[in-house]
Amino acid sequence: MTMKTGWLMRARMVRRIFAMAQGPWGGSPGGNGDDGGSGDKGKDSGGSGSGNGDAGNGPRNPWTQPRGGNRPGGQPSGSRPSMVDDLIRRSREGFSSFGGPGGGMPGTPEVKALWPIAIAIVVLLWIALSSFHRIGPQERGVVTVLGKYSRTLTPGIGLTLPAPFEMVETVDVEEIRTIDIGSVRSEAENLMLTGDQNMIDLAYSVRWNIRSPELYKFQLSDPDSTVREVAETAMRSVVATISLNQALGSGRTLVEQQVEQRMQEILDNYRSGIRVQGIAIKQADPPSAVNDAFKDVSAAQQAAQTYINEARAYSQQLTARAQGEAAAFDKVYEQYRLSPEVTRRRMYYETMEAVLANVDKTVVETGNVTPYLPLPGITRKAPLADPPSASAPSQGGR
């Protein structure tokens, strides 16, 4: 029995929860439903067990007039307030606590109790957002105290005083910055005077990055303009020491190295905190007015150099051949000194072999037997002689 009673009580509680959660319109408007029947709910609310409760007779819609009459306060008699009514009532009470319609003024004790909490939240947010700083691997944080340099933060999470007491500015120290001077595509010329009193049009680029962020931020007012002016100064000073041919051809690498060194020296004297990574000359041409003539001269010089190279190659071949023949003669002479007769005979045979190799000849062996000679065949193999002149006597009869 105890277990059965417990299950019945739980079922009643579940039904009550579902009845409250059905929304502002409640359940079905029927008179014998689970909400308003003559069952357990009528007993719990102290009403009669008649089967026609207030919750079942009237509509649960709070915006419609109930069937069972109204109480003096406007609440339907015998019915409970819906969840919407409860929420509206609570929101009105909360709004009135902040000095809204029907409520007290901001100076009431309830509002005064909330001000310290709001101020504490704002202070905590202010400290958290302005005191912790994330510095990337390629960055450095320059910290200033009321505008004066204090320290530099390394990569990681940095902690400072909240703003505006300490301010942090991050600077990327690994980024390679590039400045182009005398662009190739631009029509404006960047003319410079060489050491042999000639003009040259140069276009080059400067690559640099930040070495010391605190010096970079506080020593130079305009770092880009400073780097450009220093590069032009160093380039003009170096070009003034070389000739035009060196600037146009083989001297470019030397010029780039010297300009980089001079730029670094000047920037270090300025305490700029800048490191020069390199100089690259993109264009080195004569002025446009005489550019065609210089191209013709350059083509002639290249042709002359080509002829000189060919002559040198031919002379080297002749020299090598003469040296080879001289070495062969020296070897033959050494053998001749050892056995002159054999060497003489061998030289005779080699010479005759070279002379008679391309000659039509007939070899006749000496002896008691006269060999048969095919004279017509020999005549056919012999080369044709020049036709005899008319004045020459005929030798056919002879």
Among 3.40.50.720, 3.40.1390.30, 3.30.479.30, 3.40.630.30, what is the CATH number of 177-286? Answer: 3.30.479.30
Gap between the Cα atoms of 164 and 142, Å rounded: 14
What per-residue confidence (pLDDT) applies to 342? Answer: 86
What per-residue confidence (pLDDT) applies to 277? Answer: 94
* 7 CA to centre of own chain: 73
Gap between the Cα atoms of 122 and 133, Å rounded: 19
Gap between the Cα atoms of 26 and 64, Å rounded: 12
In the chain, % of residues over pLDDT 90? 24
What per-residue confidence (pLDDT) applies to 369? Answer: 62
pTM over 0.95: no
Write out the two tokens for 44.
């719990």
Which range has the top average pLDDT, 214-228, 279-293, 363-377? Answer: 214-228
CB burial of residue 250 (10 Å; 0-12, 13-18, 19+): exposed
Residue closest to 161 by CA, chosen among 147, 141, 148, 143: 143
What is the amino acid identity at position 201?
A: D
What per-residue confidence (pLDDT) applies to 183? Answer: 72
Whether pLDDT at 273 is above 70: yes
Average pLDDT value for residue range 102-114: 57
